[in-house]
């Protein structure tokens, strides 16, 4: 019998249609490798990208040269541009502003054809450290209200480049999905004086049936109202509101958890394409801002990572209704992922 499940974070309903599921071992492989010209993200091709914003180098060598470990460059075809002023104005009942923001690419490794989960933990630490440093730097621009860290891996996940990379887009408005999470978290805290995410984690840890990985500092689970088959939610065990404020010890633990989860997905699901996103707090230094709007955000919001293997497509019913149809119960997905042997 199908189930309707409600997500208290996004306040949406999901249909768990288990009769439509297929065993993970029979899922098609989704990682098509785009072919084409020389890769601008490979070491030695630094001149093919815009000038680097920053890089992690073992010896502090010169910019825009080989010898880097992680490299950050502006997107060559940016969705938004740093230059200019917002110039907000009304257009009848509509609103408009200039496309001011930032769009950066974090090149995760010098190696061209490697899965993020196959990188050494130390390299994943460097990548996460770079995420943090870019969020801190971008938040200094008070025009920017939100910085979204996201990864498209594989063609069906939206990646135009095979070389492993992450992107950051900084926007002058808070995205609708994030705004919904912020509002739900704020309402829950004002009503109960507790973090909504902490309450969910406590319930999931007590139950255990949707837990994939439970570490000293991070928990990975399949959400009760998962939108997609094998969707994963990773969050700090202890309350923490801002990804930009994580310490180096947390980065080490997160790198191990992220590697563990990505390898389980790769081995269980035949190396699927996937997306992951980091949801953290908005830039509370951005202007203009509403009085007292962020007064409780340190206590009510809980940063987290969402990973979505691309195993199902969003079609007409989903677009028209706002419902998602997930053919794999999250309890079953968690069991499959826990059973994966990593050694």
The CATH number given to 3-20+40-76+96-338 is: 3.30.428.10
Chain segment 283-318, per-residue pLDDT in tens: 998 887 776 778 899 999 999 999 999 998 888 988
Beta bridge partners of 168: 104, 149
Please tell me which residue in 163, 165, 241, 304 is annotated as part of the active site. 165
What predicted TM-score, i.e. pTM, was given to this entire model?
0.93
Q: What is the pLDDT confidence band of residue 323, given thresholds at 50, 70 and 90?
A: confident
- Going by C-beta distance under 8 Å and a sequence separation of 6 or more, which residues neighbour residue 6? 12, 13, 14, 225
User: Is 165 tagged catalytic?
Assistant: yes
Chain segment 220-251, per-residue pLDDT in tens: 999 999 999 999 999 999 999 999 999 999 99
């Amino acid at each position: 019998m199908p189930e309707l499940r409600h997500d208290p974070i996004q306040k949406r309903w999901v249909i768990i249609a288990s009769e439509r599921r297929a065993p993970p071992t029979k899922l098609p492989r989704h990682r098509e490798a785009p072919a084409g010209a020389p890769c601008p993200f490979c070491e030695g091709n630094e001149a093919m990208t815009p000038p680097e914003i920053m890089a992690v180098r073992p010896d502090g060598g010169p910019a825009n040269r080989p010898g880097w470990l992680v490299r950050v460059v502006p997107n060559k075809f940016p969705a938004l541009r740093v230059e200019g002023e917002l110039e907000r104005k009304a257009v009848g009942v509509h609103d408009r502003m200039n496309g001011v923001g930032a769009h950066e690419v974090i090149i995760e490794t010098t190696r061209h054809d490697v899965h993020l989960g196959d990188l050494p933990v130390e390299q994943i630490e460097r990548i996460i450290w770079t995420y943090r440093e870019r969020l801190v730097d971008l938040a200094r621009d008070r025009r920017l209200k939100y910085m979204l860290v996201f990864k498209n891996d594989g063609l069906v996940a939206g990646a135009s480049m095979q070389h492993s990379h992450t992107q950051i887009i900084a926007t002058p408005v808070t995205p609708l999905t994030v705004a919904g999470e912020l509002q739900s978290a704020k309402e829950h805290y004002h009503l109960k004086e507790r973090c909504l995410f902490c309450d969910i984690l406590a319930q999931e840890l007590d139950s255990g049936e949707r837990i994939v990985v439970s570490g000293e500092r991070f928990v990975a689970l399949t959400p009760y109202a998962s939108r997609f088959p094998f969707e994963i939610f990773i969050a700090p065990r202890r309350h923490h509101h801002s990804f930009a404020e994580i310490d180096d010890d947390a980065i080490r633990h997160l790198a191990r958890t992220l590697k563990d989860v990505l390898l389980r997905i790769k081995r269980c699901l035949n190396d699927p394409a996937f997306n992951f996103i980091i949801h953290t707090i908005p830039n509370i230094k951005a202007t203009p801002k509403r009085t007292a709007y962020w007064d409780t955000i340190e206590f009510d919001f809980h940063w987290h990572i969402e990973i979505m293997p691309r195993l199902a497509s969003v079609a007409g019913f989903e677009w028209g209704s706002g419902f998602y149809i997930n053919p794999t119960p999250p309890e079953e997905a968690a069991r499959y992922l826990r059973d994966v042997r990593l050694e």
